[in-house]
Structure 1
């Protein structure tokens, strides 16, 4: 095998051959116009079928306004808001959105609307869901806890107004039943009843009843439900849902809003009830203490015969002392409320219980902190209905509650300390005025002391009575968090899927794109020579012409005196072009034409045999010589006396007793060619071609024939052709369309530049006629078969 290397890559003749040819690129795609038509028609048909057999989806939406009445007050704890420890309005809205989408609320919606049971009837194309009513209705006798976890499909055939049957998917009757009678099934006993009086008009109709597990339906609608704020920082929330049944989508949205309002109202009622219960417990304790004080006063007055009159000499001091006592009572009341609240906050048993919100404190920051604390407790309780304590939102709320609890304790301790200072000062004054009253009757002093305690008890008792009444009123006038702005309605629903316009546009786009990509990728990854233009772009060698692809394989010699096929005409044109190329060769003897190629299979023997025949038809005496000693194919194209084993060129070279005339065979034809086959395959072809008898053969043939057409060995595989190339007057280099690799064109280009093959010219074999290689007027398909 001979390796041929070139010192430089293949270049081109001018810039126009290497530049981007827009016209050529466009024509490349226009030649395949029918691909685009077929592809677009196919995609449009698929789009039509997709639209026809896709269940349409409608978007139903409603909007609500979520109240944000609770906020962080301007207290010493407001700094926690900036640190992210306290809830803000946006977080609250996000929390409410999560509550709306919670599994608990949607489960309530599914159970309320009975969405786990669906009724379908077969339409002309699609199955249509019957909502809210179907021709028949199924009722379950088993417990909901059993039915809600089952999955089942019943196909019910209506036979009459009293009878029905269960059928399979092919319509075959499985069992007969009567409307209103109990039927035992795999999901328990059921009763199927007609929903319309005159059901006989629907005789023969099949109703599919689909029962699904409740939780799977809940998850389905949780995924389909979209809940979002209308704008950034807005309290208006939009609930939207895509569903093939507009009425069902409307009912789901509206029922979900109702369930959310019920949940918020119930939660607020529970808070009010807990506050009222706490106050009632305190009232019972204080009522008992007040009764004991009243009994003690009555006992002292009865025992010692005292009245309520105060002696005149102590009136003035008593008045001052009384005012001090009142202030002491008020402060002591505050201390008790603070201490009671502090013990409640520090209690681990009620760590996440609501604080009484109606006790009232002189310090407004404590009141605001208690309100904020209760708000977080309520949010936490709502979230735990649909999630666990490990939920990041719950963990965040727990952290905020702990921060508020610490801040509240600090505020309570600070308030208590401040009140204690004031209280100690007042008690000191009280001792002073008590000393002034030392001379008063001892019993009067006892009554005064008891009166102080009695005043405290009464004041606290009346205060708690007032707050309990407020709590009771609140529990009966509780408002929901959400105010409906727009209810979901059928009129406001939008057809969202399938989008016909976009689907047809996409079909048109992909219908054009697919053949474009196929052609582009095919061309991108195609390393084969696909047209004459490829040769013109990549080579500087003259192009002799192109031979169309041979359609019929019955006869390899297609050129004859009467043939008018496109291939035969192509060889006649080739013969004419040869005359032009060889016009400058001044030679008295016959002209030698070498036919070679890069590799085997590119059509050397086909081209050379038909070229020889075309020259013979023109009246020339032609010798057809085979010098491909390694893989001769003469016997496949021409009739030889002994086929492949016919004596030829190699026999002449190796045996000096054989004369040249012994290896020349004349065709029995009107325009015969004289054939010198390759002969027996030798073990050393290259050495044989260096033999002197090779020159004797060529000299003889040149003297006796007008043309010598030499079928040579491929130049990239062996050196045989180059050893005898000096005998050639013209070298025809064959490349085959869609067979020869573009990357090997550097070999003939190298030969041409280095002049290793005399007078080279390229010939494209098996060219496609659809690429523009037509030959003459009137050569149709009929003649192509000649």
Structure 2
């Protein structure tokens, strides 16, 4: 193979970055026990997860925001027509209402939960809502701080161990609470922070061996937690609001969701009827005062008639009285309306006075537009009050609501200006009429004048009282007929729980997959950062040089395994290499084989001696030269003397015949390295080395040169120029991948003649897919040059 061909093949190898599935599979299977362990851990972990993880469910409830009117209140019906549409709050506002802290805190307060209990199941704590094995009675005098987990371990039928370890915040300072004591059932447990009594619900002997824990509930934190957990959703086209919560204690959360909806509906109805209730309170306050005035006027009227023995007024007196009564009644009505208009004018824009708004119809104002606007304004203020609990000032819903309030306020102000002027004008007109008729009264007898005034005052008060009673009855009917415009479609209940846990088979599959994935990734990562050669594929991908053969791992103590163990697999390896040499060398002409390694400890001398031995055992006269004069080993392997050898020959001390030593192996001779010289490279470069090879070619069929590592010294590179075949030894698990680049550089520059590779130390006791086709490689691809 020429240097140009090597360069082309080397460039092709560098560009080939395709993933080798076969190699990846081998890398994984080579450490199958890692995968087996990972699979066991993953599957076991998944099984434990399935067995001990509490079941998780989704608790659901749904509400329909209907277009129902508020009972038979004609004023509300009229308001809806005036303001356009149904007057129903938008779904977004209703959602904000449901998510308000005030509403959720009211639900928590109504449920009156004091403690939260859990039971230990192996290593998992599971909630036991309404299945607590104890009755706990706490003393109101104790602090009993919330949020501290208190552990209960039953000891006997009468005693238990109680312990706690946590921190609380008292007056801005952190206080640590830690204790462990033995307490008695049905007896108060007291310390600096706690005071409560624990009593078993059933036979306390059945609790032995179990572990429980509980904590006193902080209602503020519980409310905040529910605000985070409760999810709300509504469709763009539908009028349905859906509430859901993920729960491991479904019964607890079912109770909470239903209580939340109940409080929401109650508050909605309360807000919806606030105007009527304020009007009713206003009428009650008026009736309270008028009732006293009516009683006093009635007594005065009766006493006056009895004292003065007057039964009826004259016809003229009756006429005057009726006229004055009619004017005073109109004037009283007008004055009441005028006062209402002025008060309303003061309340507009004042959020603090929003609760004092009273419907105009209560004081007899029949203006339908004003009635509708005031009721609308009252509703908007109520919605803003609720929304302000959970929304900030920059909340879009709150901004839109404020804009709508400002718009309604503006319309009401414009109306009030005209209404006040018109009402004041009407009052002035009535005053003029009253003064004119009152002059006629002055012309009548004094006694009749007094009777007219007393009777007029009585009848006027009675008519106002009757009017207010009538209005009160109308409001009570309106309140009794009021219904909230929200309907529950589906309450939260067990039948509608949605399981959220994944399928046990799926979890086991995921656990097994992760159990295989993690060690698999670890194996590939280790391989990525491992620069050592472990597979024949590593070599094939990194060099175009042919592989002459694979040498199996030797388990024998002897280094001459082919001699002492002729039936061993490693001996068969060398027989294969010996056969392959016949295809690499021209018989009778090419005889010199150089063995090299890039680094020490790759098995160069071991392979040189066994390769020489196997060739000699095939009746080939073979000589092995110890060219590694810096660290000689050949004489030790063959039990020979190193007093004279190659170094002596190269300096002219001995002849070739004198340095050749016969081994115990027939047809195998050795030229030891000899005494270590100070200048091995310079000695090898002398013509004497070439002369030695020429002499040996005449006597031997094969000459094998055992060289020093080429990355350390240049000795091997010098001898390689005289070798017909140069074999590099690569050892699995020892040789590095970057050594192949070094070998490729040497081969591509033509520094060596006819380079090839031998893979050393293949372990048969491990999976090695490279071995299964090593011979095919050697006979096929290895010689396609």
TM-score computed with the length of structure 2 as normaliser: 0.75
Match for 1:192 among 189, 193, 198? 198
The 3 A distance-change label for structure 1 pair 36 and 311 is closer
The reply on whether 1:141 has 2:143 as its aligned counterpart is no
- Equivalence map 1:11-50=2 (5 Å): 11-12=11-12, 39-50=38-49
Match for 1:667 among 663, 677, 693? 663
How many Å separate the matches in 1 of 2:43 and 2:181? 42
- TM-superposition CA deviations, 1:69-128 (whole Å, max 9, x none): 68996799889x9xxxx994122221232038955135325524x4x14264x6789767
Match for 2:754 among 755, 759, 767? 759
Deviates more, 1:767-776 or 1:702-711: 767-776
How many Å separate the matches in 2 of 1:563 and 1:291? 138
Preserved contact between residue 325 and residue 452 of structure 1 (Cα < 8 Å) = no
How many Å separate the matches in 2 of 1:774 and 1:432? 127
Deviates more, 1:68-77 or 1:607-616: 68-77
Tell me by how many angstroms 1:357 deviates.
3.4
Preserved contact between residue 575 and residue 611 of structure 1 (Cα < 8 Å) = yes
Match for 2:232 among 228, 232, 241? 228
The reply on whether 1:510 has 2:514 as its aligned counterpart is yes
The 3 A distance-change label for structure 1 pair 562 and 619 is farther
Partner of 1:732: 727
The reply on whether 1:61 has 2:67 as its aligned counterpart is no
Preserved contact between residue 592 and residue 703 of structure 2 (Cα < 8 Å) = yes
Match for 1:344 among 340, 347, 366? 347
How many Å separate the matches in 2 of 1:455 and 1:50? 85
Partner of 2:359: 357
Partner of 1:218: 222
The 3 A distance-change label for structure 1 pair 503 and 19 is closer
- Equivalence map 1:522-561=2 (5 Å): 522=526, 524-525=528-529, 527-552=531-556, 554-560=557-563
Tell me by how many angstroms 1:504 deviates.
1.9
How many Å separate the matches in 1 of 2:102 and 2:515? 41
Deviates more, 1:284-293 or 1:355-364: 284-293
How many Å separate the matches in 2 of 1:262 and 1:43? 52
Tell me by how many angstroms 1:560 deviates.
0.7
The reply on whether 1:657 has 2:653 as its aligned counterpart is yes
Partner of 2:620: 620
The reply on whether 1:565 has 2:563 as its aligned counterpart is no
Tell me by how many angstroms 1:272 deviates.
5.5
SS in 2 for 1:497: coil
Partner of 2:580: 577
Partner of 1:108: 109
Preserved contact between residue 118 and residue 211 of structure 1 (Cα < 8 Å) = yes
Tell me by how many angstroms 1:550 deviates.
3.4
- TM-superposition CA deviations, 1:131-168 (whole Å, max 9, x none): 52444422112348645465422323442xxx344478
How many Å separate the matches in 2 of 1:463 and 1:635? 136
Partner of 2:117: 118
The 3 A distance-change label for structure 1 pair 40 and 439 is closer
Partner of 1:377: 381
SS in 2 for 1:228: strand
The 3 A distance-change label for structure 1 pair 365 and 95 is farther
SS in 2 for 1:765: strand
How many Å separate the matches in 1 of 2:636 and 2:456? 136
How many Å separate the matches in 2 of 1:271 and 1:430? 31
Give the superposed CA RMSD: 5.4
The reply on whether 1:94 has 2:100 as its aligned counterpart is no
How many Å separate the matches in 1 of 2:667 and 2:466? 139
How many Å separate the matches in 1 of 2:463 and 2:404? 30
Residues paired across the two proteins, number: 734
Match for 2:152 among 134, 151, 154? 154
Tell me by how many angstroms 1:610 deviates.
1.8
Preserved contact between residue 18 and residue 537 of structure 1 (Cα < 8 Å) = no
How many Å separate the matches in 2 of 1:431 and 1:132? 74
Partner of 1:707: 702
- Equivalence map 1:328-343=2 (5 Å): 334-343=337-346
Partner of 1:781: none
Partner of 2:592: 592
Preserved contact between residue 713 and residue 720 of structure 1 (Cα < 8 Å) = yes
Tell me by how many angstroms 1:342 deviates.
1.0
- Equivalence map 1:372-521=2 (5 Å): 372-382=376-386, 391-392=391-392, 399=399, 403=403, 406-419=406-419, 465-471=469-475, 483-497=487-501, 499-514=503-518, 516-518=520-522, 520-521=524-525
Q: Which runs of 5+ in 2 are unaligned?
A: 71-75, 165-179, 776-785
How many Å separate the matches in 1 of 2:300 and 2:163? 89
Match for 1:676 among 668, 672, 677? 672
Preserved contact between residue 626 and residue 711 of structure 1 (Cα < 8 Å) = yes
Preserved contact between residue 729 and residue 759 of structure 1 (Cα < 8 Å) = yes
TM-score computed with the length of structure 1 as normaliser: 0.75
Tell me by how many angstroms 1:511 deviates.
4.0
SS in 1 for 2:721: helix
How many Å separate the matches in 2 of 1:571 and 1:603? 14
Tell me by how many angstroms 1:708 deviates.
1.8
- TM-superposition CA deviations, 1:16-42 (whole Å, max 9, x none): x98766666667667776765554444
How many Å separate the matches in 2 of 1:687 and 1:102? 99
The 3 A distance-change label for structure 1 pair 454 and 415 is farther
- TM-superposition CA deviations, 1:686-713 (whole Å, max 9, x none): 3333223333333343344332211223
How many Å separate the matches in 2 of 1:364 and 1:679? 128
SS in 2 for 1:353: helix
How many Å separate the matches in 2 of 1:323 and 1:218? 63
How many Å separate the matches in 1 of 2:592 and 2:228? 84
Preserved contact between residue 152 and residue 160 of structure 2 (Cα < 8 Å) = no
The 3 A distance-change label for structure 1 pair 686 and 323 is farther
Tell me by how many angstroms 1:574 deviates.
0.8
Tell me by how many angstroms 1:580 deviates.
2.6
How many Å separate the matches in 1 of 2:416 and 2:622? 130
Tell me by how many angstroms 1:261 deviates.
4.4
How many Å separate the matches in 2 of 1:604 and 1:515? 35
SS in 2 for 1:763: strand
How many Å separate the matches in 2 of 1:14 and 1:141? 82
Q: Which runs of 5+ in 1 are unaligned?
A: 778-786
Deviates more, 1:448-457 or 1:468-477: 448-457
